Amino acid sequence: MKKIVILVCLLLFTSFVNVFAEGLDVYSQYLDNIPSIGSHGLLPSENNNPGKHKIYDVNFDGVIDVSDIVSVINIIAKANSSDEGDVNCDGKIDISDIVAIINCISMSYNDSILNENHFAFLGKNLGSCKELVGDTYLVLCFVSTPEHPWTESKKKEVNQVSRSSIGYMKTEAQKYGVELNMKFGGLDFEVPYEFTKDRKWYNYILEHYYHTSTIVDVYNSYKKSLNSVNTPMIFLFNSYDRSFTYSCKKNFPNWNEEFCVIFCDTKMHDNYLTHEVMHLFGAIDLYDYNNEGIKSLALKYFPESDMLRVSHYIDELTAYLIGWKKELTTKSIVFLNQIDGLR
């Protein structure tokens, strides 16, 4: 019996040594190809603090260093499927997790590594809808056209979905420690035009109902009368098309038109309203019809995100873009670096 125990121990030890050696070999090869990181070697920089990069602090000792690499090697050797070891969020624990930690240590992932003109940041904290916090009043605009008028029963259905959407946004905000006092109200508009991209319907509403040529004047008026920080306008059509949002962007400094358009001909899901409202406040789509690379990476890092699929979950990157988080998480930074240039 003792011989069997000794044999098993030797086999386990041999397996551990092999995995450890393989990990160190990858580690050594990788160090040969990374830029110099100064006299501190592999010690975390002050930017690489554990609060911001907890995903890589595998052994929870408050720093990210070689000991975390050793911890992952231990996890691999023990065939442990612990979530703590899957630092690159690919669903398995292997050598790639060691490389991910080496990346984090060597590059000291901080905001300065990101391209300051990254497309993800182009709409952050701009225009009338800067951050989705505090008193927010959603102005639901039911636009009846000659061929697609609204009925009371259909509006009632949309109002019910809107309540559900608001409830879920409040719940998600609370998870990030954010107070979101969100309400909504409905307005009826009749226009002599069908929906078109030339926005005749939109100009008609501004001129005929508000006597202005810019929606900014409308927002400013509503903010005063409704005593709200945010008063985004959502135009609802009882017809079928692809919903979209116009929001302010840094690369279009003269653009100040901000609003959502949602089409409700088919059954409306509460995700639709949430998704477009997130866009108004700076969130980006985690997919791109012209580039599958963005979606495939998002499925890896943020598979349940509302900005990727129909869900009830606001991911940490979206939370940062809309003002619910003050700092990007390591996972968000890694994702942003990987999609930079794909759109």
Check residue 51 and give its pLDDT.
38
pLDDT in tens, 113-153: 567 788 999 999 998 899 999 999 999 999 999 999 999 99
- Shortest CA distance to 234 belongs to which of 279, 174, 276, 192? 276
Higher-confidence residue of 139 and 5: namely 139
Check residue 98 and give its pLDDT.
81
How far apart CA 323 and CA 281 sit, in angstroms, is 8
Angle between helices 2-31 and 66-77 (to 10 degrees): 140
Tokens describing residue 317: 């990157």
The secondary structure of the chain, three-state, reads CHHHHHHHHHHHHHHHHHHHHHHHHHHHHHHCCCCCCCCCCCCCCCCCCCCCCHHHCCCCCCCCCHHHHHHHHHHHHCCCCCHHHCCCCCCCCCHHHHHHHHHHHHHCCCHHHCCCCCHHHCCCCCCCCCCCCEEEEEEEEEEECCCCCCCHHHHHHHHHHHHHHHHHHHHHHHHCCCCEEEEEEEEEEECCCCCCCCCHHHHHHHHHHCCCCCHHHHHHHHHHHCCCCECCEEEEECCCCCCEEECCECCECCCCCCEEEEECCCCCCHHHHHHHHHHHCCCCCCCCCCCHHHHHHHHHHCCCCCCCCCCCCCCHHHHHHCCCCCCCCHHHHHHHHHHCCCC
Check residue 113 and give its pLDDT.
56
Which residues, in sequence order, are CB contacts of 278 under 8 Å at separation 6+? Answer: 132, 306, 307, 314, 318, 322
The C-alpha R_g of the chain, in whole angstroms, comes to 25
Check residue 20 and give its pLDDT.
47
264-280 burial code (b ≥16 CB/10 A, e <16)? beeebebbbbbbbbbbb
Task: Look at residue 186 and tell me whether its pLDDT is greater than 90.
Answer: yes
How far apart CA 343 and CA 340 sit, in angstroms, is 7
Check residue 83 and give its pLDDT.
65
Reported confidence tier of residue 207, pLDDT bands at 50, 70, 90: very high
What's the whole-model pTM score? 0.71
CB-based burial of residue 38 (10 Å sphere; 0-12 exposed, 13-18 middle, 19+ buried)?
exposed
How far apart CA 290 and CA 76 sit, in angstroms, is 38
Please answer whether residues 267 and 137 qualify as being in contact, where contact means their C-beta atoms are separated by less than 8 angstroms. no
> How many CB atoms are located within 10 Å of the residue 244 CB?
13
pLDDT in tens, 19-59: 445 544 544 444 444 333 222 222 333 343 333 345 677 77
Longest CA pairwise span in the chain (Å): 92
Tokens describing residue 142: 């039911």
Task: Look at residue 308 and tell me whether its pLDDT is greater than 90.
Answer: yes
Check residue 69 and give its pLDDT.
79
Fold classified for 126-281: Collagenase (Catalytic Domain) (3.40.390)
Higher-confidence residue of 326 and 257: namely 326
Check residue 106 and give its pLDDT.
59
Q: Which of 4-13, 57-66, 107-116, 194-203 has the highest mean pLDDT?
A: 194-203
- Sheet with 259-263, side-by-side order of all strands: 180-190, 134-144, 233-237, 259-263, 244-246
